[in-house]
Structure 1
Amino acid sequence: MRIGDEVVLECGIGTLGDIYPYLLDKARGKTVLNVGAAGNASVYLPDRPHLWLHTRLVDVAAAVVGLDIDPVETGIAAKHGVVIEHGNCEDARLDRTFDVVLMMEVIEHVDNLAAAIHNMLDHVAPGGELVLTTPNATHIGNVIDAFRRRPANVFWQHVTIFTPEHFQAFCDRHDLDLCEVKYFTFDATGGLSMRLKTALIRAFGALSPRLHSSFAVTIRKPG
């Protein structure tokens, strides 16, 4: 909602120790469109499919369709028997709707935020949900870098960074319902230094959720 010239969240915020059970619970027994599905196919296939989000969604959902813009990762998935539609979430048309559309670590890559969200909402069934995760602008690492006068640490494929309030402002502008906000920090995937860094980020996140490295928002489509 708008108060004066500022945006205020209409829902409370929460935290998650692990994002994956949360996403799998949302997908359980539902039809799911997994946007960015081919991400890390080259990392997890063929030896570790049980760690790959797309495989885990297939295990719990009623049906899953994958969509990804990356032809290389999509091709790798296809070589291992996983068919993922090749297309851009800003303009892809799949001619069907889903109970849940998941965009995990995708929205920060897109050129046109409004086109991507509206197009994906067109693929959400009435009463369904669009679930997005993205890096957090107020992540403790960004705060520390600012105090140390260091340049921002920006991944070369990322063109935007958000707080939940940006999604609230978007929902207010387009008469959408932002119904959930959850902060979290991904598990470490590297060695000891990465595990220590992750533990430190989570410790700061326990002090203030807004210091976590990422967050998830859920936009519900009217039934």
Structure 2
Amino acid sequence: MEHLNQSICPACGASSLSTYLTVTDHFLSKENFNLDLCSSCHLLFTNPRPTIDHISDYYKSEDYVSHSSTKKGFVNKVYGWVRSYTLKKKIALLKQLTDGKQLLDIGAGTGHFLTKAKQSGYSVLGLEPDEDARKVALSENGIELKDLSLLHELNQSFDIISMWHVLEHVYNLQADLDKIVSLVNQGGVLIIAVPNYTSFDAQYYKEFWAAYDVPRHLYHFSPKSIIPLVESKGLKFEKMLPMKFDSYYVSMLSEKYKGGSMLKAMRIGFLSNQKSKEGLSSSQIYIFRKK
């Protein structure tokens, strides 16, 4: 596989980088990747990264949960059960944030969230880079998603733009974030959910932490890195919410990679959620508004 080494931070352009951790792609290739830390903006990023022509090769597995419609394995079954519950919570969050009904979901996967949103009265548009995921969205959920490559061709605006575990995947961070912010209506909201590398479970599992998910995750955020980044684009940070089921799910995968126990995963997930008020839960939802 071809890889691209980066000598400057993709978020702030600083060159003050240091290797934070070396992590194995436990999921697919078994390759090792360095995580470099920017001392200026606190972004952690995978370095080197696969080239844009080869990044899709690292997603080619039926077991990649976000894009798979299969129910094989205990972990995938748990993911399906939890998804049903969290979809309801996500729709409730939309209703709390705005009365607006124009919704764009970036990285829509197989369309479960947009299907639920459409049933709840939202006018929806979804972008998804994976062709197989788009086919599943149409065949199983009856929703037609557009290719993510059309993002920069959009000229309409939206009351809500959501990115559920997507920003860590985008290849061109600055250009894509600029475009996304430009599509938010005045008074509208941008919802970004990402893993938190300063979480309790991340610190516990270290190189086995499943949410590093290298090299599919190109960036690894913390509150200290993502909030200034998005605010620099002109949005105002409003609040941060924990994704409490993620702590358990990520801990289960991490224990699987370590060859550990599911009982311990439940304990670490619980402890991570206990730290959520300190911004130390496994994944965080960040709410930004265009004032």
* CA–CA separation in structure 2 for the residues paired with 1:185 and 1:207: 10
- Whether 1:162 and 2:162 are equivalent positions in the alignment is no
**Corresponding residue for residue 103 of structure 2:** 32
Letter in 2 for 1:216: I
**Corresponding residue for residue 179 of structure 1:** 238
Letter in 1 for 2:243: F
Matches within 5 A, 1:143-162: 143-146=203-206, 150=207, 153=210, 154-155=212-213, 156-162=215-221
**Corresponding residue for residue 284 of structure 2:** 215
* CA–CA separation in structure 1 for the residues paired with 2:90 and 2:136: 24
8 A Cα contact 1:202 1:212, kept in partner: no
| Count of aligned pairs | 192
Question: 85, 88, 103: which one pairs with 2:149?
Answer: 88
Letter in 2 for 1:167: I
What's the RMSD between the two structures over aligned residues?
3.0
* Alpha-carbon spacing, 1:183–1:26, altered in 2? closer, same or farther (3 Å): closer
- Which portions of structure 1, spanning 4 or more consecutive aligned residues, are displaced by more than 6 angstroms? none
* Alpha-carbon spacing, 1:201–1:180, altered in 2? closer, same or farther (3 Å): same
1:40, CA displacement in angstroms? 4.3
- Structure 1 gap ranges (5+): 8-17, 42-51
> What fraction of aligned residue pairs are identical, expressed as a percent?
23
Higher mean alpha-carbon deviation, 212-221 vs 137-146, is at: 137-146
Q: Structure 1, residues 46-76: CA drift from partner, whole Å, max 9, x if none?
A: xxxxxx3222111224311111111111122
8 A Cα contact 1:31 1:61, kept in partner: no
* CA–CA separation in structure 1 for the residues paired with 2:286 and 2:188: 14
1:219, CA displacement in angstroms? 1.4
**Corresponding residue for residue 46 of structure 1:** none
- Whether 1:70 and 2:130 are equivalent positions in the alignment is yes
Secondary structure of 2:245 counterpart = coil
TM-score (norm 2): 0.57
Secondary structure of 1:157 counterpart = coil
1:184, CA displacement in angstroms? 2.1
Relative contact order, CA 8 A, sep 6+: which one is greater? 1
TM-score (norm 1): 0.72
Question: 124, 138, 163: which one pairs with 1:103?
Answer: 163
Letter in 2 for 1:126: Q
* Alpha-carbon spacing, 1:208–1:127, altered in 2? closer, same or farther (3 Å): closer
